[in-house]
Amino acid sequence: MKEFRSDISGFYKLSFEERQQKISKIVNLNQEEIKVLQNLGYFTTTQIDTLIENVIGSYQLPFGLAFNFKINNKDYIIPMVIEEPSVVAAASNAAKFARKHGGFHSENVKSVMISQIQITQLDDVEIAKRSILENKDQILKIANEQDPFLNELGGGAFDFEIRELDTRKGKMLILHLLVDVLDAMGANVVNTMAEAVSPCIEELSEGKIYLRIVSNLASHRIAKSRATFDKDLLGGDQVVEGILNAYEFALADPYRATTHNKGIMNGIVALTIATGNDTRAIEAGAHAYAALKGQYSPLTKLQVDSDGNLVGEIEIPLALGIIGGMTKIHPMARLALKILNVKSANELSQVAAALGLAQNVAALRALASEGIQKGHMNLHSRNIAKLAGVPDELIEKVARKLVEDKKIRVDYAREILQRIENEKNL
């Protein structure tokens, strides 16, 4: 590819088509690549053009469904958007193991978000604190004036906490504005409220306010779910023992706990994307919560009951919404919410927590028995066959041979294809 400069100014001022043309020229796209760029899937040009800056196309991912979930006695079909093979099947399997014992029991999730206000340069922290606390009603009133509709629906700012922080720039007061955001993810509304109350707080505290922003550690929005996974369906005592050993490993070792939690997030993030929610917020919150007690730890708890079945629990902050953001704009997110049939953000979080728990148990079961690669490789082998240029009608045959011979490589797929063609020509 020819060299190019990246300091391209005014790209955003071009029309959508002009942007596509310009980038095609800069990086020298061929006709086939231009066609890929022009395929916007379910988006219209106008829709996609208003979502982010400098937009040139739309990126699609597989949209699958996990089955067998019964949560609080209601059945769910869970939409998942993920590129990784085996994850959807694994979740469906674990849900089946739990279903035998009544499925998942998820607790109500309060939709309370925190907005942080950072008050610095305080002469007297105690006086500042007192002055803010004495004017709590006025501060909450200003906050709620920013979203009267939310207030009317029963949500809004209802309280705050003040924390003292010792920093290298001296003592700071951190005010946590607590806002019930109801069915929204809530970042926008709490950011607006924090900005609106800041001048008043600055005056009361006689300090200087810098940051006014949501905290993605949504510690007032904790989702909890619990389920019993059938011992025999899991594969018997040995497998359960393996799962418990895997859990102890994760408890003792942050390196393992990270991967343990990654498995949980496979499910939760897939549902987060499917429903048009903010994956970065969910990930950041989950990992911070996992490390809150000092050591990065698993987000699930696993033990056996008196019959030898596996009992799993999960506890995770989940700032998920069913209104606002992309949830109602993205056509696939709307579809996902329809399939999922949830009526509130609370219900969505209850499902997400159950899915995370199922995903964790499924991963540990595979690791404690046949290993994770078998399931992965069956699907992966098809991708490799495709990459090797195997025609559609031979993909299945070549993929099977790759798995059989335990050589899932593009060069080997080509070799098999060659052999098949040679046989045909004999």
Give the helix/strand (H/E) hosting 400.
helix 392-404
170-180, strands of its sheet edge to edge: 156-167, 170-180, 112-120, 208-214
Q: Whole-number minimum distance, CB 215 to ligand MEV, in Å?
A: 27
- State yes or no: residue 312 binds ligand MEV (CB under 6 A): no
- Phi, psi for 224 (deg, rounded to 5): -130, 135
Q: Give the Å distances, CA to CA, from 3 to 6, 28, 281.
A: 10, 11, 36
**How far is 274 from 76, CA to CA, in rounded Å?**
14
Give the helix/strand (H/E) hosting 64.
strand 63-71
| Residue 56 or 250 having the CB closest to ligand MEV | 250
Q: Whole-number minimum distance, CB 367 to ligand MEV, in Å?
A: 6
**How far is 333 from 139, CA to CA, in rounded Å?**
36
Catalytic residue positions, numbered = 84, 262, 278, 376
Contact set for ligand MEV, span 151-180 (CB under 6 A) = none
The gap from C-alpha 36 to its chain's centroid, in whole angstroms, comes to: 27
66: its two tokens: 């996990």
| Residue 269 or 318 having the CB closest to ligand MEV | 269
**How far is 213 from 193, CA to CA, in rounded Å?**
9
Given candidates 29, 372, 379, 394, which one binds ligand MEV under the rule CB under 6 A? 372
| Residue 42 or 255 having the CB closest to ligand MEV | 255
Q: Whole-number minimum distance, CB 333 to ligand MEV, in Å?
A: 23
By CB under 6 A, which span of 68-76, 137-145, 197-205, 364-372 interacts with ligand MEV? 364-372
Q: Whole-number minimum distance, CB 421 to ligand MEV, in Å?
A: 36
Q: Tell me the residue nearest to ligand MEV as measured from the CB.
A: 263
Given candidates 79, 103, 263, 312, which one binds ligand MEV under the rule CB under 6 A? 263
Give the helix/strand (H/E) hosting 373.
helix 373-387
Task: Please give the angle made by the CA atoms of 166, 172 and 176, to the nearest 5 degrees.
Answer: 110
Q: Whole-number minimum distance, CB 279 to ligand MEV, in Å?
A: 15
Query: Per-residue x/- mask for ligand MEV, residues 222 to 261, rule CB under 6 A?
Result: -------------------------------------xx-
Burial (CB < 10 A; 0-12, 13-18, 19+), residue 22, is middle
Given candidates 115, 215, 225, 266, which one binds ligand MEV under the rule CB under 6 A? 266
Residues that bind ligand MEV (CB under 6 A): 84, 259-260, 262-263, 266, 363-364, 367, 372
